[in-house]
Structure 1
Amino acid sequence: MSDLAITGLLIAALFLILGTGVWIGLALSGVAWIGMQLFSSRPAGDAMAVTIWGSSSSWTLTALPLFIWMGEILFRTRLSNDMFRGLAPWVQALPGRLLHTNVVGCAIFAAVSGSSAATCATIGKMTLPELSRRGYPDGISIGSLAGAGTLGLLIPPSIIMIVYGVSADVSIAQLFMAGVLPGVLLAALFSGYLVVWALLNPGAIPPADRPMSLAQKLSESRHLIPVVLLIAAVLGSIYSGLATATEAAAVGVLGSLILSAAQGSLDWKTFRESLMGGTRLYCMIAMILAGASFLTLAMGYIGLPRHLAEWIGSLNLPPLGLLAALMLFFIVLGCFLDGISMVVLTMGVILPTVQKAGIDLLWFGIFVVLVVEMAQITPPVGFNLFVLQGMTKREIGWIARVTLPFFFLMVLAVALIWFFPQIVTLLPAQMRR
């Protein structure tokens, strides 16, 4: 059977299983089992047990539940409300007002976690209930969070950049520097869209609070101090070298507990509810991760990503055509694999073709991260869509629909770095001097 036929069969199986209402993690595992049974010689049961156990017991994954718990603590105490009180006076003048807290919050937290799922879940726990309470439409609130949550992959530190740097023999420090301006660009595009949307839908945005003088704004900003201290503690522990990402997540949990206790908004009931809420959300994400890991293994045994990459390389396309084909390839691949697996399974085949086309490997690394970000919000298996579905209990199709404008903004970002490659190369060039 051809690779195209296998791909079509597995996509059809995935849609069919998801359509029956089976949990997402189990659906991914089911498709992986079908693929291994039909197109691989390795016993599927043994592979499933080993892979699911391995993905579930990973130490590096410990940062994710800790960051989610931190978000739950902030959400259930006064800290998240204080963050809005401090930000509100400064964004009230912008069309879209408090919707911009999704973008700003995700951009800041992306520099802490390096994970799209952790960024989306943590910021969502703080912003979505508050935006809903203040009367902002659910569609634009959830859509902007799904899009901005992907910044966790682009703004350093980023695990995918490390994996790509090792695969392509590119300086990881330069990759981190190269991701800064595209990350700012993408955040600006998201905020720009919110401004345009608000201007086109003026009746959907709640009225602005009373005007404030500069002194009053500065006075209200004192409510930001606890959250700023918390972010500074997490970021500072990472960038000073005192803590790993996992240890920094533990610092974040401890800091949020101390700050909320000092404010008098932490009691036993809040502590228990935050712990149980974080556990429920992480268990949902962990099941998806386990299913995705098994599907990744199945794809590796079938050889589908490698064969498709070889086929694209054999087309001898010009640089722009090659990048367009690779963008489509990674978006389709995102239906089956997580971002790191996409890089690991395909770079060995794709990089020689990219080099032959005269494309700078440092620039290509940022391109790869951007298209992997797109895959995070591409149905049916966009990871951020699943995280938000677990948080909001909305239909996956509805979430995908309200997120679609932000997908096209990422396509625009790719076009901008193609026509203006200095957006990627400027900071690394300064670093080399």
Structure 2
Amino acid sequence: MPRSWLSRRRRASSLSLSEERSSDTWTPLACERRSSKHCCLVAVHWPLAFALGWPRAGESREAKPISQNPSPPPKAWSPPRAPYPENIRMSDTSWGEKVKLIIWIFLDGLERFFTQNKLLKLLSLALAFLIWFTVSTQEQGDRLLQDVPLRVLHSPTTIITNVVPKAVNVRVRGPLAVVNDLDPEGIEVIVDVSELDPGNYVIGPEEVHHIPSTVEVRQIDPPYIPINLERKIVRDLPVSPQIVAGQLPSDRVIIGSTVEPSTVQLAGPESKVNRIEHLVTERIVIPENAASQHTFLVNVVPPGQHMTITPARVKVTVTIDEVVEKRLDHLTPKRPPRVRIPSGTSLSVTLRGPRTFLDKIGPDDIIVSVNVAGLSRGEHEVTPSIALPDEFRDWVQVIAIEPPSLTVRVR
């Protein structure tokens, strides 16, 4: 039915072609009958003509005249636009004619689709079929990817306190050529716990990144990862150096050290950080030929797992001094109650220690005393005792007392 109507329409167009040319008016129908090369233009122009009320065949509505002997239009020819009427009415064309026009346009376009550019369309169809056949017939295969990196995403305010595996095994399936070319180190399995509060969880990894879309993830081993989340805190703690003077000669001694900065920040799980009072550096071994002041750049030792230190390194300056001896003479012993010491009795004391401290010690800083507790009345030989100031006791030692004993009388 539609094809026979199209044939009658074309025959009627050819019969009335001479009448259209003599009408001296331009219409979309006339454009349609000029040449079959411009049917696409007519297919677009006819609905506009009906919808906007443009003049049709046999009507004269200020249409632009065309010449009696028109020349063949060029390839890029397009019909001039007819002026729009002031009052556009849809009632100029019946719905039956509009339906017939739409059917004619559809059938004409369908006919041109199968009759024009046949070679290009056949080549396109063949190429599409070749691509589909190549993709659909690729051999599928399975592969087990071992030691695929695992990354856990968590909030900056939390920290993972248990040991999480660094890698998992992933079984995939896809085109055999693509699957065999996969590199496990180039793939990454993601576990996201950034939205979870502190607590203990068992979560299965779901996201696998950097894997082709044609490859399907069949299984991840282990299927579940235990994760313990704890609140993260930061504290400022002092640092103490660990100094080993094993290689120093006997006549040199370490008398002090300074750490810069003196405090560092320790970040970690709240339950562990709150139990720590200070931090220590790694062991510092003093070389044999060290100068009087030697500086070391050393690391601060983390007190446990899942803890970070900022800054991780500190500067330790060690002060080394020469060990010397010093003799103090004319020291008078302190006389206790009920004890008589012969007049003119004096002692000499020999001290050993760092030069820096010995230079500060004088006879007035030494206290000589005798202990007569438990002695009966009469003369006795007692050993004097030497007392040093508190600031020197850790550094200075008494190596000799002359005379080693004193004669006292207890009353």
Q: TM-score, normalised by structure 2?
A: 0.18
More strand by share: 2
More helix by share: 1
Question: Larger radius of gyration, structure 1 or 2?
Answer: 2
